[in-house]
Structure 1
Amino acid sequence: MPSDLDPGSTIYFTLTIDGESLGYFNGCEGLASEVEMEHHQEGGNNGFVWQLPSRVTHSSIRLTRPLTPDTAKTAAWISSVATGITRPTAQIAALRADGSVVARWGLIDVLPVRWQGPQLDPASPGVATEVLEITHHGFTN
């Protein structure tokens, strides 16, 4: 199969905030938006109900990965919120195993919402993972 048609069977993700990489992630969920609809019933017209778009909402995005040295960059970004809120732009790119880009999403006005570190339990020797949750005000190119 030609590489430009490969859907990307092994995908990982990168997150960059204002051009600075926060590293690679192996899970990404929540890339979604929804248009809320208002329903308006017109008097004397019983054949249908007008459906009018009102606002667009965007869900939070959760990125997961095993612990890496890039965790320090993530912690620094989250800590920066305490000293003043700036709403940078961000970009999430889905990459194939060879590093080529499958898809890319630009995000407007990004803020970290939550970071969850690993559960360090000697009784369960699984991979230590972290979860970063971010919010945004919409998609861009």
Structure 2
Amino acid sequence: MRTDPGTSVHFRLQIEGIDLGDFSNCEGLSLQVEVEQRVEGGNNGFVWQLPSRITYSNVRLSRPLTSDSAKVAGFLASLPRKARRGTAQIAALRPNLQDVIAQWSLRDVIVVSWTGPTFDPGNSQVAMESIELAHHGFL
């Protein structure tokens, strides 16, 4: 069993079992629980912290253009015919792209944004793409 800290440079994305390839950045895997405070009468030293609504932030994955970009283009082309919520899996991979460090499964996922690369001949930066997912929680 390995006990070294989780360092990764790739995140593998699958939506409804469709492999969309490896991404170099992943942000937004988070949730927030809203808390309502209630003061109990006669007990001045205590305030009830009652959980109410849970909200999930959108998840954004990005990467330089690769041959996997064609997988995303094909997936996006099918959206107008079948845009519905599904499940997604994001796996954090070690640099060897084989060993999974951690994995998150998201429910009721829908693609809300895709941003393609900007090509500027006067600027020699890596051409990046990103995909953003909204979801209703973790499985």
TM-score above 0.5, yes or no: yes
Task: Tell me how far 1:126 sits from its aligned partner.
Answer: 1.1
Mapped partners of 1:82, 1:42: distance in 2: 52
Matched with 1:76 is: 74
Matches within 5 A, 1:21-60: 21-60=19-58
Task: Tell me how far 1:42 sits from its aligned partner.
Answer: 2.3
Q: Does 1:126 align with 2:125?
A: yes
Can you give the 5+ residue segments of structure 2 that lack an aligned partner in the other structure?
Answer: none
Alignment RMSD: 1.6
Using the TM superposition, name which of 25-34 and 64-73 deviates more.
64-73
Using the TM superposition, name which of 73-82 and 26-35 deviates more.
73-82
Using the TM superposition, name which of 72-81 and 56-65 deviates more.
72-81
- SS at 1:103's partner residue? strand
Count residues with an aligned counterpart.
138
Matched with 2:112 is: 113
Can you give the 5+ residue segments of structure 1 that lack an aligned partner in the other structure?
Answer: none
Runs of 4+ in 1 over 6 A off after TM superposition: none
- SS at 2:71's partner residue? helix
What is the identity, as a one-letter code, of the residue corresponding to 2:120?
A: D
What is the identity, as a one-letter code, of the residue corresponding to 1:53?
A: P
Deviations 1:24-56 (A, max 9, x none): 000001110111111112233322221100011
**TM-score of the superposed pair, with normalisation by structure 2:** 0.90
Matched with 1:86 is: 84
Mapped partners of 1:33, 1:116: distance in 2: 24
**TM-score of the superposed pair, with normalisation by structure 1:** 0.89
Mapped partners of 1:48, 1:55: distance in 2: 22
- SS at 1:74's partner residue? helix
Q: Kindly tell me: are residues 78 and 48 of structure 1, through their superposed partners in 2, closer, same or farther at Cα, counting changes over 3 Å?
A: farther
Q: Kindly tell me: are residues 101 and 40 of structure 1, through their superposed partners in 2, closer, same or farther at Cα, counting changes over 3 Å?
A: same
- SS at 1:15's partner residue? strand
What is the identity, as a one-letter code, of the residue corresponding to 1:50?
A: W
Q: Which has the higher strand share?
A: 2
